[in-house]
Amino acid sequence: MGQKTRNNRCKGLALPHSGQGPARPVLLLHAADSEAQRRLVGALAELLRAALGSGRDVIVDLWEGRHVARVGSLPWLWAARERVAREQGMVLLLWSSAGLRSPSDPNPRTAPLLSLLQAAPRPLLLLAYFSRLCAKGDIPQPLRALPRYRLLRDLQRLLRALDAQPSTEATNWGLLGARQRWRSRLELCRRLEREVAQLADLG
């Protein structure tokens, strides 16, 4: 099978980036305050990293716990934001009605994130939310002008906005293996979303 045929059959399946072009990072912001929510954020970050490929970095505090603890959450957050701005990356805000309720929320865990949002470059700021955990009406009015993506239904739209492109690296995985890995990551996100929603209902 020729290379052109393989690439055509990969269309519609978000696979790792080829590494060509600028390696623009994606900063994933969230306000997870429970272990179940943090697992969901981590699963989404893994999904994005797999789609963007090794040439693109997904920045999330869960993967830099020691560094965040050493320098502090606010300095880490601003340093990450500066890197994204410098490298022309994107900021993806994962919104949850159980986490960030209002731009005026006095919660000290969310205040640094909200102040960063005010300074983030709007053309590079995207908003995503899991449909089981957040409704459109839960998103504060000031943020409704942002490009919004309902997960996991709008995942492919989000990946296109993040400039995830099918890669020739997929041929190194084997097409079947790539699809199996992708479906496994998707199913993990779906399962964790259900778990978080169930815990929220019990609470």
* pTM (two decimals): 0.77
Lowest mean pLDDT among 117-131, 161-175, 182-196: 161-175
Judge residue 156's burial from the number of C-beta atoms within 10 Å of its C-beta, 0-12 exposed, 13-18 middle, 19 or more buried: middle
Range of the domain at 64: 22-202
**Mean pLDDT, rounded, for 153-168:** 80
How many structural domains does the chain have? 1
Residue 1 lies in a domain: no
Rounded distance between C-alpha atoms, residue 80 and residue 91, angstroms = 10
Q: Is residue 30 part of a domain?
A: yes
Q: How far apart are the first and last CA of the chain?
A: 54
Please indicate, yes or no, if residue 16 is contained in any of the structural domains.
no
Contacts of 140-145 with CB under 8 Å at 24 or more apart are 140/100, 140/102, 140/103, 142/103, 143/93, 143/95, 143/103, 143/117
pLDDT of residue 17: 40
6 within some domain: no
In a domain, 156, yes or no: yes
The pLDDT, as a whole number, for residue 98 is 56
Looking up residue 113, the CATH number of its domain turns out to be: 3.40.50.11530
Which of 50-54, 96-100, 112-116, 193-197 tops mean pLDDT? 193-197
Q: Residue 6 and residue 25: Cα distance in Å, rounded?
A: 27
| Percent share of the chain, pLDDT over 90 | 38
- CA 160 from centroid of its chain's CA atoms: 13
11 inside domain: no
- Mean pLDDT computed over every residue of the chain: 77
The mean pLDDT value for 44-66 works out to: 89
Range among 15-24, 51-60, 190-199 with highest mean pLDDT value: 190-199
pLDDT in tens, 83-114: 998 898 999 999 887 544 444 554 554 555 56
Query: SS in 3 state form for the chain?
Result: CCHHHHHHHCCCCCCCCCCCCCCCCEEEECCCCCHHHHHHHHHHHHHHHHHHCCCCCEECHHHHHHHHHHHCHHHHHHHHHHHHHHCCCEEEEEECCCCCCCCCCCCCCCHHHHHHHHHCCHHHEEEEEECCCCCHHHCCHHHCCCCEEEECCCHHHHHHHCCCCCCCCHHHHCHHHHHHHHHHHHHHHHHHHHHHHHHHHHC
In a domain, 37, yes or no: yes
